[in-house]
Amino acid sequence: MNPAIQSLAAQRALEAAAAAQNMGLMRRAACAAADKVRTLLPEPAPVTVLAGPGNNGGDALHLACELAEAGYPVTVVSPAPQKGDEAVAARARWDAVSGHTVREFPADAGALIVDGLFGIGLSRAPAAPWDALIRAVNASGVPVLALDTPSGLDATRGTAPGEAIRARHTLTFLCLKAGLLTGDGPGLCGALEVAPLGVPPALWPPAEGGLNRPLLAPLARKANSHKGSYGTVCVVGGSPGMLGAALLAGRAALALGAGKVHLSTLDARLAVDPGHPELMIAPHAPRLPAHQVCAIGPGLGQSGDARAALAAALALDASLVVDADALNLVAADPALAERLATRQAPAVLTPHPAEAARLLGRPTAEVQADRVAAARTLARRFGQTVVLKGAGTLIARADGFYRVNASGNAALAAAGQGDVLSGAIAALIAQHLPPFDAACLAVYLHGLTGDLYRARQGYMLGLAASQSAADLADIANALLLIHERNTI
């Protein structure tokens, strides 16, 4: 899969450039979709094709022609006439090939439904009669192949403001779209593939983002190394009642290979972690142990002592991972926000949507309505790497480039998982990965702990953050072993 993500404007410009070269993208899209249908249904079987009024409907009508000519029984559902020269021409071709067209969704939709109602330009809730048609499709239980994007999903923002097709497969054309990978997108797309349609590289604009496909090679260990080779992490947090958060971050940092991990806790009652005595635990003091990376926020709280600890961390000449209540303190205090935005040493900010909303001074719903924009805005505002957590976690750089993560699932929707991620990012920065690369790799590996749990259990209930922290080492080691064998 081509990992590049393009903006809607860039995709439209690419389509125009291809049209100027008479590439016939609509027919190419139909042929690619026909190949996908033949993969899903190797033997001809009844197919219902939903054709909307625009170019997405044109793709669907050309696909219907390809399938009918290959011997598949095809019914086209088209509640409204096509508009635009290409879509009208596609309808004329279909009428000449078969013309079996109905306006209502059939009682028997066959073996497969192809969704070609609306494409990537849709940004509003589908109105009547389309909303009722989408409800009928979802209620049918028949597998759906969506063309370019499931109808009803905003492919740019990843939101579904009204009824939306729940596809089992999505074949998107030319390139990835951010909205297919984040927010509501992953839950609606099913298995996602890209059909690049043979567009030459010279026509492609620079990508604004990409799928998160990090390299593990930087974690490969040298024989002649020692604990100092892999850096020291200091976790600052663990206020009364929240010591577990700091412990989870510290355990995750150990699991991903940090040479040493200190916990500087605001609750002084814990002297040792019996499960992980390697963690060096001490009450928080203004002078922290020597370290390369400070992860501040897990279990920090928002007390006066917590604010003082954050102010001290911001003054350090060390990389930071800023999470949880450290972000809430920044959001509430313009002076702290200014210090974070102007510090010279790098930082990674790891907000969930509500924390991002506080940093931006917006409702959480606005963040979720355009997750890409929120992550990029925060990264630019603070001049740092930002990890916006959630379905399709986003990792954004200060220059606006971003990646969308596709590993993980709702098993990770549990307390403590953010603390695990913070410790993981800190461990990778301590091992000399640049902050953006460290964030990308940590997010990917952390997501895999959810995927591993689902593979083991069959579903997503009950994954504890402590289990994710422990699984990080197993997953990273397995992938590094594969990398090592492939490079010999």
Binding-site positions for (6S)-NADPHX: 55-59, 119-125, 148, 245, 299, 352, 419
**For 99-122, what is the HEC assignment?**
CCEECCCCCCCCCEEEEECCCCCC
The 10 Å CB-count burial string (b at 16+, else e) for 90-108 is bbebbeebbeebeeebeee
Q: What is the DSSP string of 208-225?
A: SEEE-----GGGPPPSS-
How far are the Cα atoms of 300, 334, 382, 384 from residue 341, in angstroms, in the given order?
20, 10, 4, 8
In angstroms, the CA 473 to CA 262 distance is 19
Binding site for AMP: what residues are annotated? 389-393, 418
Residue whose C-alpha is closest to residue 79's, from 139, 152, 136, 130: 130
DSSP structural state of residue 176: B
Q: How far is CA 84 from the centre of its chain?
A: 34
**Is 171:190 a contact under the CB 8 Å cutoff?**
no
> Environment class of residue 160 by beta-carbon count within 10 Å: exposed (0-12), middle (13-18) or buried (19+)?
buried
> Measured in Å, how far apart are the chain's first and last C-alpha atoms?
25
Copy the structure tokens of residue 195: 């059909």
Amino acid letter, residue 361:
G
Helices (H), 400-462: 417-430, 435-457
SS3 content of the chain, % helix, strand, coil (to 5): 45, 15, 40
What does each C-alpha distance from 389 to 294, 322, 409, 455 come to in angstroms?
20, 13, 12, 22
> Who's near 441: CB < 8 A, 6+ residues apart?
214, 215, 216, 218, 219, 428, 433
Separation CA 238–CA 251 (nearest Å): 13
- In what helix (H) or strand (E) does residue 145 lie, and over which residues does it extend? strand 144-147
β-pair type (293-296, 280-283): unpaired
Binding site, by residue number, is 55-59, 115, 119-125, 148, 151, 245, 299, 352, 389-393, 418-419
For residue 143, is the peptide bond before it cis, meaning its omega torsion is within 30 degrees of 0? Answer: no
Residue ranges for the known binding site for K(+) are 56, 115, 151
Report yes or no: 50 and 115 within 8 Å, Cβ to Cβ: yes
Query: Residue 79 is which amino acid?
Result: P
Residues 328 and 2: their CA atoms lie apart, in Å, by: 37
